[in-house]
Chains A and B, each alone.
Chain A
Amino acid sequence: MSYFETLTLALRNISGSKMRSFLTMLGIIIGVTAVIVIVGLGNGMENYMRESFASLGSNSLNVIINGRGSARSVSIDDMYEVVAKHSDVLEQISPVASVSGGIKTGNEAHRSTSVTGVSEDYLDMKDFHIAAGRGISYMDIEDRKHVCVIGDFVNDQYYEGHGLGDTVRIRGAKFTIVGILESETEDTYVGNTDDVVFMPYSTASRVNGYGTIYNYNITMHDESQAALAKQVIEDALFEIFADSDAYNVISMTEILDFMTTMLNVVITVLAIIAAISLLVGGVGIMNIMLVSVTERTREIGIRKALGAKESVIMRQFVMEAAVTSALGGTIGILLGYMLSSVATKIIQIALDPMLAVTPSWDSVLMAFGVSAGIGVLFGYLPARKAARLNPIDALRYE
């Protein structure tokens, strides 16, 4: 009796009692659906985080100088020198001076707009592109000019697209708009990536009242060298301060990796909980198969009398359990995908249009394999019971 014939027979027996087969599969269906949706949610969250971080620049490091009393500090030139010295790893540097309070256009205040003082390289480092006018220049920084570049959102919302050459008030001072940036994002909420104003860092450090620069943004050639880049900068700063508390080097990649690890732990725990239902489903299959063996005792007796070997009977029952389980797994996969797309729609409306539930092929293949495996595992005991039935007793069974 070939495997194909055994499979056909199993399918016939399953379709012979549809309701029972469906109820038997239910545990597996629920388990597989849950695993797929949960893993999909995890993937979606990870993608979301990666994209969010990518817009912050996952190839960059933030350096925060806390200083050590007033005795020692690090100058902007020192920082530039560090980057130049390690140009094999590090690429560009820009001092970063944030200016709080937002902007004022005419008589309207827009507190959500982020205002940052940067170097002439910064826009390039962050992949901003000039749509009109020019960027920040070295001379602007040298001369502490009151000029700025505004984001697409600011230009659109507050200047009706004609901001170039106009002025903006920041902390009481008047700035000339010398450049407009291209749009970076589809988002339309206030405070998005396009709701920004950049000015020379030298001007910013005066406007915000600190006088010196505490933050730097440094890019590296290769994202995967984040740890090395961080080490290089830390070593250089330790030489200057001789105190590791005086500075902080934050790598976005490192934070992202950490958060991804945390997220994966949570998702794994959830998936394991969901997988318990697969186990319960397996026990359900075993139960029904045992009932089925009892019900079909006479059939087994007849088949044995007609020459079926134990292995053939065994194979028939294991196949039936495995097919039931795998069928449940397949339904679960379909249901999981459907539920994922429904969940994605709801989440995108209710929470964030960037967040999607994306089931992975890994989890689908695994769910299918595990459910078929559970069928074989839990079908084994009933199948062995069937195979070992004494043909005489089985034939007499009423």
Chain B
Amino acid sequence: MGALIEFQEVCKYYYMGDTTVKAADHISMKIERGEFVAIVGQSGSGKSTCMNIIGCLDVPTAGTYLLGGRDVGKMNKNELAEIRNEMLGFIFQQYNLLPRLDLIENVEIPLMYKGVPKAERRKRAQEVLEQVGLGDKLKSKPNELSGGQQQRVSIARALVGKPAVILADEPTGALDSHTSREVLSILQQLHRDGNTVVLITHDNSIAMRAERIIRLEDGQVVYDGDSKSPDALVQAHIPEDEEEEK
């Protein structure tokens, strides 16, 4: 069986007037099942583009993205929606919970779109909420919770559909250092439980918590390897702006 996530020369270009922005410039990489990978980069490095493509929210301009062996670039909007629903669990920086729904209702949304019957949905949503330690707040609204608790709800929502990949986009960006550590240890626990976790961050200290780091600069991979290696933390080269603009 091939890699779970495979980028083959993936490119994503944005056209702004006369200039072309290369948000992803021939990125190739593989992520295997059960890995805990951090994609690190400064803003503008292309890590958000990378995350959008991995998350099937966007398709590459050129190159091939295989998710679980299927070519995402050839999918239509409905198939993309389906694959997001089945294969991916998103954790966002801003939690992105729906304020009018209570926790159970928030967590069961992915199951609802999958067509799981209501009773079953409730049960599974409750289970994952208990798993993240919010079993006593099932009927609360998101705004009654602290930031850390809201992020745990969003983790529960990502988990409920048993996705192949958990995709966390700056999951600690809005949290203080204490709750950040809490959220990161949940992600590490998920990894130990056998889940594939992809963490997107600009913060080296956070990326360190992963096993493997993929560092992006100007849409290109500049480091891909063990997070314990000293090279993982070093920026490969100072961007040469003049060259880029040509």
Residues of A within 8 A of B (CB): 1, 5, 12-13, 16, 298-299, 301-312, 391-392, 395
Contacts and interface: CB of A to CB of B under 8 A. Distances in A.
Contacts of A5: 112, 118
A297 to B, nearest CB: 12
Interface of B: 52, 55, 57-58, 77-78, 81-82, 84-86, 90, 92, 96, 98, 100, 109-110, 112-115, 118, 157, 161
Nearest to B92: A395
B78 A306 contact: no
B82 A309 contact: yes
Contacts of A312: 113
Contact of A392 (B58, B78, B81, B157): B58
Contacts of B96: 298, 301-302, 305, 395
A306 B157 contact: yes
A307 B58 contact: no
A392 B98 contact: no
Contacts of A16: 100
B57 A306 contact: no
Contacts of A305: 55, 57, 84, 90, 96
18 contacts: A12-B100, A13-B100, A16-B100, A301-B96, A302-B98, A304-B57, A304-B81, A306-B84, A306-B109, A306-B110, A306-B157, A307-B86, A307-B114, A309-B77, A309-B78, A391-B57, A392-B52, A395-B57
A302 B86 CA distance: 15
Contacts of A12: 100
A308 B113 contact: yes
Contacts of B55: 305
Contacts of B52: 392
B245 to A, nearest CB: 25
Contact of A310 (B81, B84, B115): B81
A299 B98 contact: yes
A13 B110 CA distance: 19
A3 to B, nearest CB: 13
Contact of A307 (B82, B98, B100): B82
Nearest to A5: B112
